[in-house]
Amino acid sequence: MPHRSASAHRGQAGPARRLLGDDGPRQEGDGGRSSARHQAGRRVGPRTRQDHPVTAQAARADVPEPVGDRAKVLVRVENVVKHFPAGIGVSVKAVDGVSFEIRQGETLGLVGESGCGKSTLGRLVMQLIPVTSGKVFLDGVELTSLHGERLRQQRRQMQIIFQDPFASLDPRMTIGDIIAEPLVNFGVVRGRKLRDRVQELLRVVGLNPNFNNRYPHEFSGGQRQRIGIARALALNPKLIVCDEAISALDVSIQAQVVNLLEDLQREFNLTYLFIAHDLSVVRHISDRVMVMYLGKIVEIANSTETYTNPKHPYTKALLSAIPLPDPKLQRGRRLVELSGEIPSPINPPSGCRFHTRCPIARVPTPCAEVEPPLEEKLRGHFAACHFSNEV
């Protein structure tokens, strides 16, 4: 079956509707509650579309490259390193030689245990913190070579949704001012048009547009996160980094926010880097999943392949920790137990960084001596493991 483009997977909606266009406002929300389709709490089901396979690319730091319909690459990360100084001659190796791509209109899930470098990588993609080495490209523009106003202008194309909806909103500002701030900073609209734009953004995320004069403390956690999403949409970005955007919310609210993100992606052809530690949520929203361990990418594959046929023992261990709703199946399943704790990123293990906890490691050689490359094991399925055939 031919592989469709990311936009085709989103219902053939055509060109993304721009919020500043002349196509009129959406239907207004229901007096302060989220719109009916988001408040219904409809079940979040697994994605049914097929994901774009990738093949190895030797010319550019072994970054996987799309095949099939050759969907446009929006984000390219090449051998990015971020080491934080932690004393004289000591550094925390938060991100250590990471390469990947995100195609326009897709959702790339990024998962891993706490402290593996997920959030740091998200901030490196947005250039909120500088790289130690390596390159980051957005729509063909090398962000790592830009500074000052040139980098600031590129930031219009990328936004972030933070984990904590309570801490990410200024309690002294009305939500109207919070959403309007990026529009004012970049001189997009002013006056009456600014107010109309803010109200339209509130409608888009399922909130009553007349609430623009209220303050963050007057809203629930889920509503505050919707406000954060509206702020992220204000400048019509191409890329949105969702940094644990739903982990602080109740499970029922998580489903509503995930549904909202998917609806917005279909309508505006958004591209997401979705960072999370809940693999069950990542499965539902992601086209492809990237697994990170101790500053390294250990596996990249489409969502279906990742969850049904993992090729790295760490991925398999993470998946086995997801509880099954059927008690009989849960009792009969075979769990993968990992020994020990995550090693220190200041002094990571030699060879494969996972070998100190891996149930199939061969020590000392090759696992403790040779670092496995991230290479294609199946079509579009990359893993960094010497013995992926035994997983």
Tell me how far CA of residue 163 lies from CA of 3, 130, 282, 336, in angstroms. 33, 21, 15, 29
Mean pLDDT, rounded, for 26-42: 38
Is 60 exceeded by the pLDDT of residue 41? no
Write down the pLDDT at residue 65. 44
CA atoms within 13 A on the CB side of 182: 22
Mean pLDDT, rounded, for 59-74: 54
Tokens of 85: 């100084």
Write down the pLDDT at residue 299. 98
Strand partners, 383: 299, 375
Mean pLDDT, rounded, for 234-250: 95
Is 50 exceeded by the pLDDT of residue 42? no
Write down the pLDDT at residue 55. 31
Is 50 exceeded by the pLDDT of residue 52? no
Banded pLDDT at 70 (limits 50, 70, 90): low
Q: CB count, 10 Å around CB of 317?
A: 20
Is 50 exceeded by the pLDDT of residue 15? no
Mean pLDDT, rounded, for 199-208: 97
Is 70 exceeded by the pLDDT of residue 178? yes
Is 60 exceeded by the pLDDT of residue 1? no
Banded pLDDT at 168 (limits 50, 70, 90): very high
Mean pLDDT, rounded, for 266-271: 95
Give per-residue pLDDT as tens, 226-241.
999 999 999 999 999 9
Write down the pLDDT at residue 21. 41
Nearest to 265 by CA among 161, 152, 128: 161
Is 80 exceeded by the pLDDT of residue 288? yes
Tokens of 123: 């901030």
Give per-residue pLDDT as tens, 346-374.
999 999 999 999 999 999 989 999 999 99
Give per-residue pLDDT as tens, 304-315.
999 999 999 999
CATH number of 73-157+237-309: 3.40.50.300
Q: What's the distance, CA 365 to chain centroid?
A: 35
Write down the pLDDT at residue 335. 81
Higher pLDDT, 62 or 246: 246
Write down the pLDDT at residue 29. 38
Q: What pTM value is reported for the model?
A: 0.82
Label each residue of 194-206 as H, E or C: HHHHHHHHHHHCC
Write down the pLDDT at residue 340. 81
Write down the pLDDT at residue 9. 44
At residue 291, φ and ψ (nearest 5 deg) are -105, 130
Banded pLDDT at 106 (limits 50, 70, 90): very high
User: Hey, is 135 helix, strand or coil?
Assistant: strand
Is 70 exceeded by the pLDDT of residue 62? no
Is 50 exceeded by the pLDDT of residue 11? no
Give per-residue pLDDT as tens, 107-161.
999 999 999 999 999 999 999 999 999 999 999 999 999 999 999 999 999 999 9
- Neighbour-count burial of 124, counting CB atoms closer than 10 A to its CB (0-12 exposed, 13-18 middle, 19+ buried): buried
At residue 229, φ and ψ (nearest 5 deg) are -65, -40
Residues in the chain: 391
Is 90 exceeded by the pLDDT of residue 176? yes
Domain range summary for the chain, segments of one domain joined by +: 73-157+237-309
Write down the pLDDT at residue 332. 76
The DSSP line for 46-66 is PP-SPPPPEE--TTTTT--EE
User: Hey, is 22 helix, strand or coil?
Assistant: coil
Give per-residue pLDDT as tens, 313-331.
999 999 998 887 878 777 7
Nearest to 319 by CA among 303, 335, 330, 331: 335
CA atoms within 13 A on the CB side of 377: 25
